[in-house]
Amino acid sequence: MRRKKWIVSKGNKDLAAQIAQELSVDPFAALLVTSRGFEDTEEIYDFFDTDAPLTLDPLSIADMEKAAERINRAIDDFELICVFGDYDADGVTATTLLYSYLETRDANVISYIPDRINEGYGLNIGAIEELAERGVKLIVTVDNGVSAIDEAIRAKELGMELIVTDHHKVGDVLPDAYAIVNPHRADCPSNFKEMSGVGVAFKLVCALEGDDGDILIEEYGDLVALGTISDVVTLTGENRVMVRRGLRLINENPRPGINALMEAAGVGDKLFNASTAAFTVCPRINAAGRMGSAQKAFELLISNDDEEAFAIAEDINHMNSLRQKTETEIFSQAAAIITESGMANDRIIVVDGEGWHQGVIGIVAARITERYGRPCVVISRDGNNAKGSCRSIDGFSIYNAIEAVSDCLEHFGGHTLAAGVGLKSYRIEEFRHRINLYAADKEMPFALRKVDCRLLPNSIGLDILNGLSSLEPFGSGNPQPCFGLFGVRIDEIASLSEGRHIRMSISKNNSRLGVVYFGMPEKRFPYEKGDIVDLAVNLDRNVYNGETRVSTIIKDIRPALTDEEKVLSAISLYDKFLRGENLTAEEAQKLLPDRELEVNVFKSIKSKPLKDRSVETLCVRLGDDGENMAKITAVVEIMLEMGILEADIDERIYVPANPPKVNLEESDIMKRIRSFR
């Protein structure tokens, strides 16, 4: 896994003390809020106010009044209305919300959610022609439509009117629609832009009802919460208020479909929070659209019959299991291609495969971005045609990148951190080359590990958890707090779940603490007993046999004895070298090892093999703070090239039984380094 750049926040202790006293909130929670940049006391008051009202006027969104007037007229005239949604959780909840509301108004309404595989995202000509044959007079999109230029023309030709409600970025040209309700329109006066598709749909319902939302949120808040959490939009401002109210509704009186899905996911007896939604219920709603039909999820959410809901939820749960299996298989294939091709060093990883299930390539792209710390595009080829899902990291807009090379695409759309593309298979290589050429002119950031504040092991207890609860719901824009345990010693390491996870005992200042690192197999864990490390951790509540304890979960780890700036600079330099870019003489000198360093690296790895190619831990062994990390990396790669070192399938680097006697100066890597001098 590529190294992340750690950002440790500094809270304002004076402001935190003032907040704690004036608002009667937990002092630790107040400190965390200041560490996240909150300074305005009124804004902080709203953040902690569990009964904060909705403040965004629905009519402040461009075209909202126009859209509401047209839909109300269609209801009065009993025109056939189609709510046209999307197959992800945001789109399904938005479809359910608007469809359910229109039914309460006795509207003549149907719904349509396109098939992910056969139709793809958003409006399409075939669906529009089918709806025209069914007598639809008004199409209202939710969570899609802002890029449907040709489809809008076709709808008009067939005598239908189109209202677009969407939250995706808008292009230079808008579709020819009766109304386009999208906060991202350049002429939209709304002061809150970061809504989900279901959030925009909810505001449309408020406009239709002539309500500010405080009444309707008690009816539809559960759907708004699930869709907003699933779409990973910021959980601040209006979104925070809507999600908090929606989660409260789910805990107090869940609708049959949500209750059934909670039971199927095994969380029916637990407090339902944003994390529960994000990791259990929302993925299952998404699984219906990924592996089968999103119509199943829609039927589940509109169901008022418990028995029917439980049957559908079991089907969806099975789809989710299939999704997990398929995702794991494709991720393994993609990771192997990335390793073998050397594209792990590309600025933007573009990996493709024939017949990869289009329903899971977005999840695979997210996993690849997490592992390699780089923007990623995963493309599934189907003969001559291909579709891809894109994911990025903070500080790099993948949307801008694909927009810059859009002339080699059939279509594209999305956000700063996530997008989708369609293209011809023969243009994939061109796309890979050009999008990396675009990135070559940009300062490519490291993925960030944001740490809210420092803690000592002896300070972790239930009182901290109780304070953290006032910060919920957690999600984008308000992530679960991450704490730094700096300079701790690893005392014990034990394997869990047949080697899939590890448990450790750490200590500092004679205080010991147990921590767990999920998803880190012991055979790849590069640290050992006695190492001094920094940990970035989350704290969770663990209830077992009626006893509540704090679970300390590792999210990231780094050596405590290296200089981060030097380490990140060395990684960037060696990546540049691997991509074949020109180096200055000074840069080449930073890569060129001497005989003494070569001997020391060899001896160190001979005495103790290097796990997971972790050169930074090797630096610590050699007493180097990262100053010579680029050279040490070069030595390891040169010795691997010449056969003096070998690497196994688990990325464990070791000295073979009978290493050959070779001249390292004959290495191609060494020759390339010297060529720049």
Question: Considering the domain boundaries, does residue 628 fall inside one?
Answer: yes
Average pLDDT value for residue range 496-520: 94
Residues of the domain holding 429: 342-444
* Residue 658: exposure state from Cβ atoms within 10 A (0-12, 13-18, ≥19): exposed
- Both 366 and 439 in one domain: the answer is yes
* Residue 345: exposure state from Cβ atoms within 10 A (0-12, 13-18, ≥19): middle
What are 191's two structure tokens?
């002061």
Lowest mean pLDDT among 488-502, 538-552, 635-649: 538-552
- Express as a percent the part of the chain with pLDDT over 70: 100
Is the per-residue pLDDT at 56 higher than 80?
yes
Is the per-residue pLDDT at 677 higher than 80?
no
- Both 195 and 62 in one domain: the answer is yes
- Both 521 and 586 in one domain: the answer is no
Question: Considering the domain boundaries, does residue 306 fall inside one?
Answer: no
Kindly report the backbone phi and psi dihedral angles of residue 518, in degrees, each rounded to the nearest multiple of 5, phi listed first.
-75, 145
Question: Considering the domain boundaries, does residue 420 fall inside one?
Answer: yes
- Both 437 and 475 in one domain: the answer is no
What are 328's two structure tokens?
């794991």
What are the tens digits of pLDDT across the range 179-193?
999 999 999 999 999
- What is the number of structural domains in the chain? 4
- Both 70 and 158 in one domain: the answer is yes
172 pLDDT band (50/70/90 cuts)? confident
Question: Considering the domain boundaries, does residue 310 fall inside one?
Answer: no
Average pLDDT value for residue range 616-628: 97
What are the tens digits of pLDDT across the range 270-310?
889 999 999 999 999 999 999 988 999 999 999 999 999 99
Is the per-residue pLDDT at 1 higher than 80?
no
- Both 513 and 464 in one domain: the answer is yes
Question: Considering the domain boundaries, does residue 247 fall inside one?
Answer: no
Question: Considering the domain boundaries, does residue 217 fall inside one?
Answer: no
- Both 587 and 540 in one domain: the answer is no
- Both 207 and 88 in one domain: the answer is yes
Give the CATH number for residue 414: 3.10.310.30
44 pLDDT band (50/70/90 cuts)? confident
Is the per-residue pLDDT at 547 higher than 90?
no
Give the CATH number for residue 476: 2.40.50.460
**The predicted structure's pLDDT at residue 451:** 96
327 pLDDT band (50/70/90 cuts)? very high
What are the tens digits of pLDDT across the range 139-156?
999 999 999 999 999 999
Determine the residue type at 89.
A
Beta-strand pair 532-544/483-496: antiparallel
Question: Considering the domain boundaries, does residue 284 fall inside one?
Answer: no
Average pLDDT value for residue range 368-394: 95
Give the CATH number for residue 90: 3.90.1640.30
Of the residues 541, 559, 577, the one at which a domain ends: 559
What are the tens digits of pLDDT across the range 440-491?
988 889 999 999 999 999 999 888 888 898 999 999 889 999 999 999 999 9
Three-state DSSP at 43 gives helix
- Both 610 and 551 in one domain: the answer is no
- Both 380 and 477 in one domain: the answer is no
Farthest-apart Cα atoms in the chain, separation: 88
Please, what is the average pLDDT of the chain?
94
559 sits in the region (left: phi over 0; alpha: psi -120 to 50; else beta) called: beta
Q: List Cβ neighbours of 611 (8 Å cut-off, separation of 6 or more).
A: 523, 524, 525, 526, 617, 650, 651, 652
What are 466's two structure tokens?
């109780």
29 pLDDT band (50/70/90 cuts)? very high
Of the residues 514, 540, 559, the one at which a domain ends: 559
- Both 103 and 203 in one domain: the answer is yes
Of the residues 504, 535, 559, the one at which a domain ends: 559
What are the tens digits of pLDDT across the range 227-283?
999 998 999 999 999 999 999 999 999 999 999 999 999 998 888 999 999 999 999
- Both 62 and 197 in one domain: the answer is yes
What are the tens digits of pLDDT across the range 386-432?
999 999 999 999 999 999 999 999 988 888 889 999 999 999 999 99
Question: Considering the domain boundaries, does residue 286 fall inside one?
Answer: no
End-to-end CA distance of the chain: 31
Q: At what angle do helices 282-291 and 89-104 cross, to 10 degrees?
A: 100
